[in-house]
Structure 1
Amino acid sequence: MAAAIITRWSLRSQLLKLVATASSLAALMAMLDPDRVAAAMGLFLVGVNGYSQFYAIYVGMRLATAYLALQASKPDAPSVLGDVTALFLLAQPVGRFVAAFAIGLPTGLLLAVCGVELLAGLSLLALRPRGKVPSP
């Protein structure tokens, strides 16, 4: 029985697939029960504009992140796709950090989500391929 060799690329690819799955499921949950998801995030949706903004962020951006992560997980994908996925993930805790100066850190479920986003984004960057990256 041959031992499986775990490479940086395979770890990064699996993490990207996990990000794609989690982002897709989060978008699905937001579509199926927007009021419950919004309440869990400390939001109260009011009117067409409130729901539209919620769907833009919690459905549209999550699906875009999922698609980007899935494309980045392919063997022939340029590493920059994984880097952009990491930046999408890290932008959220950075925004929360900026907000912490005005209103404080998030609490409860949102703090846990922030931690997962931070861990996943930093892990993707840490697993970035080493050496010279070919240009397109």
Structure 2
Amino acid sequence: MAAVLPIRHRLRSRLLHLVATASSLAALAALLDPDGIASAMGLFLVGVNGYSQFYAIYVGVRLATAMLAYLAARQGDQPILGDLTALFLLAQPAGRLVAAFAIGLPKGVLLAVCAVELVAGLSLLALRPRGRFLSP
């Protein structure tokens, strides 16, 4: 008979799976249509370096976030992995907040993406198993 997991654990695991899926799909979309995704994000890709930087962030970092989230969802006894996933998600709105002081808040699709990253990251931290903060 399988042990009954606390609801926080089940919710956090489901959210981590959702983050893994969304990040994977975002990376796939960026891989298949870099110019379209870049345009939606307000970017214009120029030359090899522009595309390389785009792929590094929108494909590489998104896939790393997806893999980390998936690993964290599978390893429920290691909450630090979920915390790291949350920090990856929250780093993006944090960077946009810094930019907001210089040029303003993002608009349109990017503002919605920012809101989702913020809600998902904070939710992962809120659903963290009770215990010492950032404990393994």
TM bin (shorter chain): over 0.9
Matches within 5 A, 1:1-136: 7-132=7-132
Once the two structures are TM-superposed, the CA of residue 74 in structure 1 deviates from its matched residue by 1.0
Amino acid at match of 1:118: L
Structure-1 separation of matches of 2:90 and 2:135: 24
What's the CA shift string for 1:84-132, capped at 9, x where partnerless? 0000000000000000010000000000000000000000000000025
TM-score (norm 2): 0.92
Query: Relative to structure 1, is the Cα distance of residues 76 and 125 closer, same or farther in structure 2, using a 3 angstrom cutoff?
Result: closer
What's the CA shift string for 1:3-48, capped at 9, x where partnerless? x986100000000000000000000000000000000000000000
TM-score (norm 1): 0.92
Gaps in structure 2 of 5+ consecutive residues: none
Gaps in structure 1 of 5+ consecutive residues: none
| Deviating more after overlay: 71-80 vs 94-103 | 71-80
Structural RMSD (CA): 1.9
What's the CA shift string for 1:45-82, capped at 9, x where partnerless? 00000000000000000000000000000144410000
Misfit runs of 4+, over 2 Å = 131-136
Q: Percent identity?
A: 74
Structure-1 separation of matches of 2:30 and 2:60: 10
User: 1:71–1:77: 8 Å Cα contact kept in structure 2?
Assistant: no
